[in-house]
Structure 1
């Protein structure tokens, strides 16, 4: 289940942990420390779910809840240390879909985000990596708005990597995950990865990175490595 989640949380440690947990679950995450850019973010990213801390600098979470309800059809989860029944009832009666109090287990929060998505019937088959958008349901991928002409196998490899974005994936893992076997010739992976990389790079900087002696990672290249990546061999 993959969705766009807007996180508004002023605690840096909690914001980073939420971003990591939700990204690891396959979601696209936009994280902010306050609601100053809320209307812009609702328009720009069209989030499927908004996680709102209640106690924020500037406008508090209950005020932002009203903005989200007026400007978006996103699901809303209130995330706060305020656990009084009156606070929970206020959030829920004003339009929040769920209310979770701190401290909480990340696994529970991720599960409850999934429950909000299911209840609201959000379209959650999209994967995002930088300017790459993959629609798993429709079987199409675009980069910078341009459709990519991928074979069915290349598309499956791309989805497998995108579902594990920012993580190193070995050739054996790709063989097992895409073809169902781990004893095929590893050259099968190299051929498809090379073709996929060429098609991705026809529309932007390198996204499919080779991790020497380890495997592959789908992520944008670091700025200081972009030039080297362009000149590097494609394997």
Structure 2
């Protein structure tokens, strides 16, 4: 292929990618302390609209919090998602990541790790299924979080949550800002520190991936 044709092809691909970039507005979470940011699908690019909290000694157990504005595909109102996701394949320290082409020994290590975690006894409970939504004017309202309506054990749940958890409509209107105060949450009887999470309107750019 001639150099000029290669250049024109590269420029065309770049324009396609830039034209396909996406932006907000979306609801960005912020915690007073702790928490890390992620995308709705951790394997794909997107706005960092999810905040996650992990127990220090069990980092593969992830509490995810996400809020979405109403849109033409989901016009019901502002929605809140709060649930636990279990990343069974997350390496244990000091290993930071798995090899792209794992050896037989590493594959066996991965299988043993997943099996051990899947068989681990886990029960997640909450002092109440209700979270408190605080609006900018100080108004408060209670909303029921589906994940916490009863004790949760991933080994007994018929359809464990993967990257997307249960949603609940917290307002029929678009909320530009609000704070969520969660009930006390326990992992096998041990209280987890989950601070209040404040949401506000933000914008972000990212290049979409076709298979996402």
TM-score normalised by L of structure 1: 0.23
Highest RCO, 1 vs 2 (Cα 8 Å, sep ≥ 6): 2
- Larger strand proportion, structure 1 or 2? 2
- Larger helix proportion, structure 1 or 2? 1
TM-score normalised by L of structure 2: 0.24
